Amino acid sequence: MKRLLVLGMLLALTPAAGFAATSPTDIFFEGFEFEEGTFPANGWTVTGSDVWEIQTTGAPEGLQYVNAAWGFDQDEWLISPTINTAIAGVSVGGLTQGSTYWSVNYDVEVYVKTGDKADAYVGLLNDYFLDNWFWGDFELDLTGLYPLGEDFQIGFRYVGDDGADCGVDAVYITPEPASLLLLSIGGMALIRRR
C-alpha cells in the first residue's frame, strides 16, 4: 500500500507528456528545440503578425529560443499549449532578455488564459531584463489565477511601437515550495496512517 501511495504522489508531479522537465517537480517545460521550419509546434500558437520566431544564435539553454522581433504598432501573442494541474500553487518561470534602454517603447506581458474567461494579468517580463541583451531568470506566481484541474494556458503578449527584440527560453511551470510541502506532508500522513 505504501508503494502505491508513493507512486501516486510521483505521478501527480509528473510533467505533461511530450515535455522534458528541468527538475522532477516541473509540471511543464519548453526549451523551444523545434525542427527547422516547424515553429509554432507542440501546441504553441502565435497571433498577430507572426513576429515570434525561433532564433539559434546566443541561446541560453539548448540550441534555440523564441524571440519577438521589434516593429511598429505591435500586439503579438505567443500562447502555450494547454496545461492542467490540480496543484493549487504554481509558478511560471524561465529565461528572458531584452533591451532596458528600449523597454520604454514596449512591454512583454504574461497572462493566464482560461478559455472563455478574461485573461488574468500575471506580470511584466521587462522587470526581469538585467541589462541590454543579458539573459535573466523570471518567475511569476500563478496562485489563484487558474481553475484547479481545468485547462489553462500561459500567454506572452508583446505590445509596443519601435521597441526592441525580446527573447524567451526554458519556460517551466513548477509548484510553489508551499504546495510541494503540503503534498509531501499529505503523502506522509497517508503512509503513516496505515
Domains and CATH numbers, the chain: 31-176 (2.60.120.200)
pLDDT of residue 159: 96
pLDDT of residue 24: 58
Angle between helices 177-193 and 2-12 (to 10 degrees): 160
Each residue's pLDDT expressed in tens, for the chain with a length of 194 residues: 443 333 333 333 333 333 334 565 789 999 999 887 788 888 999 998 778 999 999 999 999 999 999 999 999 999 999 998 888 889 999 999 999 999 999 999 999 999 777 899 999 999 999 999 999 999 999 998 988 888 999 999 999 999 999 999 999 999 976 544 444 444 444 444 44
pLDDT of residue 93: 97
